[in-house]
Each structure stands twice: as structure tokens, then as C-alpha cells.
Structure 1
Amino acid sequence: MKLAKLPDRTPAKMSIVLAPSLAKRLREYADFYAETYGSREEVAELIPFMLAAFLDSDAAFKKMRIGSASSGSE
């Protein structure tokens, strides 16, 4: 079979506590998103994509993960 086994796609729910100033900035970001794209998304819907983009753009984190994968510890 050419297709590899699909990865676990079960969502993981996490709860976090935010400083009021960060919560305000996230609401402002959601407003900016709505202005930019013409559709409103809830902050909770944007956060997973924001976190993924942040992690994908962190060169040091990527380098560490590549090193971990090549040493077999992932």
C-alpha cells in the first residue's frame, strides 16, 4: 500500500489562562482578521492556526526537532 497509516487526528483540548492584556490583543487580532478577510472568526478558532504558524516559523525549534528525529528520540 502506498498510503502510510494516517496519524492520530483526535483533537486535544487544552485550557489556558491568559493575562487580560493578552486576551485583549487576541480579540483585537480577531477584529483585524475580520477586517482583512471579511469574515469573522472567534479567537478560539484562530489560536490553533496562530500557534502552528508561530511554531513553523521558529527556526531554532525546527532545528531541534530535526536533530531529535535523526537521533530517533521523536
Structure 2
Amino acid sequence: MSTTKKLRLGPLPKTENIKLTFACPACLKADLDRYAAMHAQTYGEAVDAMTLIPHMLEAFMSGDRGFKRGGQAIPKVATK
């Protein structure tokens, strides 16, 4: 590990993944790439923005009080 300041997003856990695709502004992609570079420097493991995005979203949602107060997750739609 580097001696630089710890980032809010810590080392990444291993998880099962489902692929999603989304569009974002070029400036956000540049910031995500910079964050990925800082994360790699801090934790000594190379990651890219695509790897970080799910963990960032999870951290955001788990810290959102309004979302937590919203109750149960949205139920799955039954399929025939």
C-alpha cells in the first residue's frame, strides 16, 4: 500500500457481476479514470473505472438515508 491518504472507497471485494451499460459525460469519465489511478496507487492493485463504478454506486446507496428509510427493495416483477 502507498503512504498516500486513504480514499473513501477502500479495497475492492470480490463479487458476482451482472453487466450493465450506461452513458456518461466525458468529464465524468475523466474523473473516474483519475479516481481509478489514485485507487491503484493507494491500494497497489490496478483497477479501471468500470471496476470501480459498481462499488461507488453501492457506497453511495448505502450512505443515502432517504433510500434506507424508503423501506424494502422494489419487488421483482413476476414473469409468466
TM-score normalized by the length of structure 1: 0.70
User: Counterpart in 2 of 1:62?
Assistant: 68
User: Counterpart in 2 of 1:13?
Assistant: 19
SS of 1:46 mapped into structure 2: helix
1:42 paired to 2:42: no
Larger Rg: 1
Matched-pair identity in %: 32
1:11 CA displacement: 4.3
* RMSD between aligned residues: 1.7
Consecutive unaligned residues in structure 2, runs of 5 or more: 1-15, 76-80
Q: How many residue pairs were aligned?
A: 59
User: What letter matches 2:36 in structure 1?
Assistant: A
Q: Runs of 4+ in structure 1 displaced over 6 angstroms?
A: none
Q: Cα deviation per residue 1:16-61 (whole Å; 9 max; x = unaligned)?
A: 1110100000000001101110111121111111110110000111
Q: Which has the higher contact order (CA 8 A, sep 6+)?
A: 2
User: Counterpart in 1 of 2:37?
Assistant: 31
User: Relative to total residues, which structure has the larger helix share, 1 or 2?
Assistant: 1
TM-score normalized by the length of structure 2: 0.65
